[in-house]
Structure 1
Amino acid sequence: MAKQLETPITFIIFKRPHTTVKVFERIRQIQPKKLFVVADGPRHEREGEAEKCAATRAIIEKVDWDCEVIKNYSEINLGCARRVSSGLDWVFENVEETIILEDDCIPHITFFQFCEELLEKYRNDSRITSIAGQNAQLGQKRTDYSYYFSSYSHCWGWASWRRAWKNYDLHIKLWQEVKKSNILDSILNDSKAVSYWESIFDSIYENPMGITWDYQWTFACWMQGGLNVIPNVNLVQNVGLGADATNFNFNQDVSFINLPTEAVEFPLKHPPFIVRNLPADRFIQKTVYGATRLDIFKQKLKKILQDKKIINC
């Protein structure tokens, strides 16, 4: 991209300077005029974490282009759920729309233009809740256009508007009513998928400050009948699987992680219809939201609750 990016970038960081610097260098290539930085604080019982957080934040000081850098740094550890959600609350109090990257999501350079153009195109279309950079179809082309529409809101590199984020609720207070009304049946039309998501939302409803924020975002999008833009090629590579991972720290082959990226072609070919791609969504439910991830989610949540009991004793 020859010109500076007009759309504000939101960069969410924590304690991984080795991945943060890779994402930062990609951001530097497009030189956004405004950069919001959201950082969680260290867990002081974790040896060396304060130093890792400091080294990660130091990368932001390397901004060497004309850019307004606006920081929201927590000095205490809020945890993933509270830090990301409160950080995005803060960002959307300041701007109407933004492109969002976490510290382990490395975008293809065309990701930024893709988001910027579609943020403008669907700015006032309440049917669309987000624009994703991730495509987890494992090489399957789902459309002849540049993107398709999905019920799933992939968050490894994405963009959205204040009008959509205002429906976000970390505590998913509507869940009990939604569950009693069998609303998920009409959204998913798949009994196994319904069971999966009921288990997820039950756990979050009981422990909203647990391990994640993005399932609540999926819930918010579904409760508004929203659709999400998914590129026809993968635009973001997640490199977060490893010892320092917060939500992914396990030794298993997860096929949708660390996928290579490729360029999206411009000018974009816009689909002439706004309809969910059901075969693509069924594939995502099976591949991304399968039983393995549900088991991992429950194991992580159980460990956090056990740790809390130890701390409270």
Structure 2
Amino acid sequence: MNDKYQASSAVLFIIFNRPDTTEKVFGQIKQARPARLYVAADGPRTDKPGEQLLCEQARNITRQIDWPCEVKTLFRDSNMGCKNAVSSAITWFFENEEEGIVLEDDCLPTDDFFRFCDTMLEKYRHDTRIRHISGCNFQHGKKWGTASYYFSNLTHVWGWAGWRRVWKDYEKELFQYHVNDVRPQLETLFTDRFIVDVWESIFKLVKTGGVDTWDYQLTFLNFFNNSLSVIPNVNLITNIGFGESSTHTNDVNNINANLPVQALGNITHPLYILPQKQADIYTLNADFDIASRWKKYNKPKYKAKRWFKGLFK
């Protein structure tokens, strides 16, 4: 008899070519026993020998349904790449569901992750201030407030939940946003010039197709709509995908690789719905190495160069 928490929300499971991590994550999904499961898989790359077999092995793992469950699949025959494959899978999911949970094949959830997502999806279903629910926490033990979660301007996608009402505005090419407008808008969110510099550079990279990803677009969508994300005060997701076979998380020594998880306990809610700016700065400082940028900026030789340039303005 399964005495684990049973998820009430639909789950989208996005897989590709890693049967080892797929099996571990699917094992947790099996424990949660969602009544509706969507599985999306990108196709193998023709220039990668052996990848077709790996993709098929990963897909076979998700066929091991041993609980009452309505299953829908979106298996691609050819490779679409991360940006197109993942974004189209999420679009497909939200075309069928008003809300739900999204897991990729390297994001290993705790039992509490499903309970947390179910609770947040219901509580903030009609609150348009809240546009994203994260399962991961990058505060490395630091807690913000006494509630079970805090609010953030950032959008973490290592195990998350959301609503159709948000995803309907998603556009992978960022057509409605223009490069010249971005920096002033980012400066209303972040006061640190180097944080703005990095986000501006990322925006340009995404806009020009210089990076094959889907998630920054969701981040910018939420930035430019003055949105809040829900972040648990303990980590509920371990990314087990760091390594050479990963598309984006190659560095096994990354501070966020294989983060430990904790028990959530009884869920309590914050009184005030405001972003924890210092929590976001902590995360961005680690991700963007802001402290080193400021240290270099404040070196005497760089100060002298800026002073000299200022003479001719």
TM-score norm. by structure 2 comes to 0.89
Q: Which residue of 2 aligns with 1:11?
A: 13
- Displacement, 1:243? 1.9
Q: Which residue of 2 aligns with 1:114?
A: 116
**2:42 aligned with 1:43:** no
What is the letter of the counterpart of residue 87 of structure 1? A
1:187 is paired with a residue whose SS is: coil
Q: Do 1:211 and 1:247's aligned partners in 2 also have CA atoms closer than 8 Å?
A: no
- Displacement, 1:180? 5.6
- Displacement, 1:181? 6.5
Q: Which residue of 1 aligns with 2:156?
A: 154
Q: Which residue of 1 aligns with 2:280?
A: 281
Comparing 137-146 and 8-17, the one that deviates more: 137-146
Q: Which residue of 2 aligns with 1:102?
A: 104
Structure 2 CA distance for aligned equivalents of residues 178 and 81 of structure 1 = 24
Q: Which residue of 2 aligns with 1:173?
A: 175
Comparing 242-251 and 182-191, the one that deviates more: 242-251
What is the letter of the counterpart of residue 217 of structure 2? Q
Q: Which residue of 1 aligns with 2:139?
A: 137
Where does structure 1 differ by over 3 angstroms across 4 or more consecutive aligned residues?
1-4
Structure 2 CA distance for aligned equivalents of residues 51 and 246 of structure 1 = 18
- Specify whether residues 180 and 283 from structure 1 end up closer, same or farther in structure 2 by C-alpha distance, changes over 3 A only: closer
- Displacement, 1:175? 3.0
Structure 1 CA distance for aligned equivalents of residues 244 and 110 of structure 2 = 25
Comparing 175-184 and 27-36, the one that deviates more: 175-184
Q: Which residue of 1 aligns with 2:302?
A: none
1:217 is paired with a residue whose SS is: helix
2:72 is paired with a residue whose SS is: strand
What is the letter of the counterpart of residue 197 of structure 1? W
Structure 1 CA distance for aligned equivalents of residues 75 and 27 of structure 2 = 21
**2:221 aligned with 1:220:** yes
Give 2:200's match in structure 1, choosing from 198, 201, 218.
198
Q: Do 1:14 and 1:56's aligned partners in 2 also have CA atoms closer than 8 Å?
A: yes
Q: Which residue of 1 aligns with 2:185?
A: 183
Structure 2 CA distance for aligned equivalents of residues 178 and 110 of structure 1 = 43
2:27 is paired with a residue whose SS is: helix
* Post-superposition CA distance 1:30-56 (Å, at most 9, x none): 100000111100001100000000000
Q: Which residue of 1 aligns with 2:35?
A: 33
Q: Do 1:151 and 1:222's aligned partners in 2 also have CA atoms closer than 8 Å?
A: yes
- Displacement, 1:3? 6.0
- Specify whether residues 214 and 290 from structure 1 end up closer, same or farther in structure 2 by C-alpha distance, changes over 3 A only: farther
Q: Structure 1: state its 5+ residue gaps.
A: 292-313
Structure 2 CA distance for aligned equivalents of residues 2 and 195 of structure 1 = 45
Q: Do 2:173 and 2:207's aligned partners in 1 also have CA atoms closer than 8 Å?
A: yes
- Displacement, 1:2? 5.0
What is the letter of the counterpart of residue 235 of structure 2? N
Structure 2 CA distance for aligned equivalents of residues 55 and 189 of structure 1 = 48
Q: How does 1:66-81 map to 2 (within 5 A)?
A: 66-81=68-83
Q: Which residue of 2 aligns with 1:302?
A: none
Structure 2 CA distance for aligned equivalents of residues 159 and 104 of structure 1 = 16
Q: Do 1:97 and 1:159's aligned partners in 2 also have CA atoms closer than 8 Å?
A: yes
Q: Which residue of 1 aligns with 2:248?
A: 247
Structure 1 CA distance for aligned equivalents of residues 289 and 213 of structure 2 = 17
Structure 1 CA distance for aligned equivalents of residues 107 and 260 of structure 2 = 11
- Specify whether residues 95 and 277 from structure 1 end up closer, same or farther in structure 2 by C-alpha distance, changes over 3 A only: same
> What is the RMSD of the two structures over their aligned residues, measured on CA atoms?
1.6
- Identity rate, percent: 42
What is the letter of the counterpart of residue 164 of structure 1? V
Structure 1 CA distance for aligned equivalents of residues 127 and 111 of structure 2 = 26
* Post-superposition CA distance 1:213-263 (Å, at most 9, x none): 111110011111110000000000001111210112246x21122101111
Q: Which residue of 1 aligns with 2:130?
A: 128
- Specify whether residues 182 and 36 from structure 1 end up closer, same or farther in structure 2 by C-alpha distance, changes over 3 A only: same
Q: Do 2:5 and 2:111's aligned partners in 1 also have CA atoms closer than 8 Å?
A: no
Q: Which residue of 1 aligns with 2:166?
A: 164
- Specify whether residues 285 and 118 from structure 1 end up closer, same or farther in structure 2 by C-alpha distance, changes over 3 A only: same
Comparing 239-248 and 25-34, the one that deviates more: 239-248
Q: Do 1:131 and 1:228's aligned partners in 2 also have CA atoms closer than 8 Å?
A: yes
What is the letter of the counterpart of residue 256 of structure 1? N
What is the letter of the counterpart of residue 185 of structure 2? I
Q: Which residue of 1 aligns with 2:311?
A: none
Structure 2 CA distance for aligned equivalents of residues 186 and 213 of structure 1 = 24
Q: Which residue of 1 aligns with 2:298?
A: none
TM-score norm. by structure 1 comes to 0.89
- Specify whether residues 177 and 161 from structure 1 end up closer, same or farther in structure 2 by C-alpha distance, changes over 3 A only: same
- Displacement, 1:4? 3.5
Q: Which residue of 2 aligns with 1:57?
A: 59
Q: Do 1:178 and 1:184's aligned partners in 2 also have CA atoms closer than 8 Å?
A: no
What is the letter of the counterpart of residue 249 of structure 1? N
Structure 2 CA distance for aligned equivalents of residues 101 and 181 of structure 1 = 31
Q: Which residue of 2 aligns with 1:296?
A: none
* Post-superposition CA distance 1:57-94 (Å, at most 9, x none): 00011111100110011111000010110111111100
1:38 is paired with a residue whose SS is: strand
Q: Which residue of 2 aligns with 1:305?
A: none
What is the letter of the counterpart of residue 288 of structure 1? D
